[in-house]
Structure formats: C-alpha cells, structure tokens
Amino acid sequence: MNILMKLVIATKNQNKVREILPVLEPLGVQKVSTLNDYPEIHNIEETGTTFDENASIKARAVCVHTGLPSLADDSGLEIDALNGEPGVYSARYGGSSLDDTGRNQLVLNKMIHVPDSDRAGRFVCVMALAFPDGRLYTRTGTCEGLITHEPRGTHGFGYDPIFYLEEHRKTMAELPLAEKNRISHRAQALHKIADLLASLPETKT
C-alpha cells in the first residue's frame, strides 16, 4: 500500500476537514495539516472557470509553498433551473456579505416559482492532489438531488439544508455525518483519490 507520511489539506474549513480525515486515516497518513497551520498563505485567487481548474490551482499553489503533497477541492451546487448557477461561484454567490443562510435564501427566492418537476440539481466536487515532483491528479464526484422550498436540517454546511435526496427522503443537512460521508459528492471524489493513492508507488515525505 502507498504510504503518504505528510499531507496538507488546502482549506481552513474544519467541516471539510472532518469529512476528509476518516477516509485518509486508513491510508497510513501520519501527519495532516491544513491552511490554518500556514497563516502566511493568504486567499488563493480562484481564477478558473471550472471546478477542475480551481481545485488544481489551489493544490499546486499550496504544494509549491509547503513543499508537501497537497489536497484541494473545489465544489459547488449546479441547479438546472438557474442555468447551472451558483456553480463555481457557490461559496461567494450573492456577494461577500451573505453567509450560508443568506445564500440558501437567495437560491430559494430565485426559484420561488419553479415547480417541483424542474428543481433538479447536483453537488459537484473535484479533488486535486499535487505532489512536489509536479504530478497532479484530479478526481470528480457528483450527487444528484432536488432543491427544496425551505431549509431543513441542522447538520452539514453550505447548501446542505436545501438539497433533497429522494432516495433518503431527507436533505443533506438531515443526514448524520457518517451517512453524508458515504454518499456525498466530496466523499465520492475523495474515495477516488484514496483509491489512486493506494495504487501509486510508495511515497514518503
């Protein structure tokens, strides 16, 4: 099995870290750090127009700065009735003055007249893993669902309270973390990265 001794998760979001760590632990990763451990790394400008481009930009930048393998993700919500919005702008949809609650309400307001039959959407996550030797790998995960008419649930973060999973008859925010980690877009992309790591030659850092 590949052994990755040290890894930087390119985020300050502790919710993401809590989702990622349980998948990395079985791979033998002995030290995981985040951007909270590197306060000198300021906001990395996401100039890409796709999730893949933005994840790759972040992974490469953090890898170059730290000299360590770096894992970054870019994820968001695509809604068919809004022509794919909020998409790559999910985290800053509606401007910097809005928090998660405000962004959820903005989506619901824009969809107030959209019937149930047209409320399809999906969470998309691209994970990028960059190595100091220049290697870069990306993997994608998606999760299909429907946009609710009002927020439901207290778990999760972001758009989870308005994203309904028909199979589970719950929003993403109503699922326990363990269940979300099994089915979410981030979990799917992360498990693909884990499979990739397990297949690579041994890498010690």
Is 74 catalytic? The answer is yes
Judged by DSSP in three states, 145 sits in: strand
Size (the chain), residues: 205
Q: Which residues touch 205 (CB under 8 Å, ≥6 apart)?
A: 4, 5, 6, 7, 68, 69, 132
* Candidate list 74, 100, 118, 160, residue with the active-site label: 74
CA-CA distance, 204 to 28, in Å (whole number)? Answer: 11
CA-CA distance, 125 to 170, in Å (whole number)? Answer: 20
Q: What is the largest CA-CA distance in the chain?
A: 55
107 touches 149 (CB < 8 A): no
Q: How far is CA 74 from CA 71, 121, 137, 200, in A?
A: 10, 17, 14, 23
CA-CA distance, 138 to 189, in Å (whole number)? Answer: 9
CA-CA distance, 29 to 17, in Å (whole number)? Answer: 14
**Residues labelled catalytic:** 74
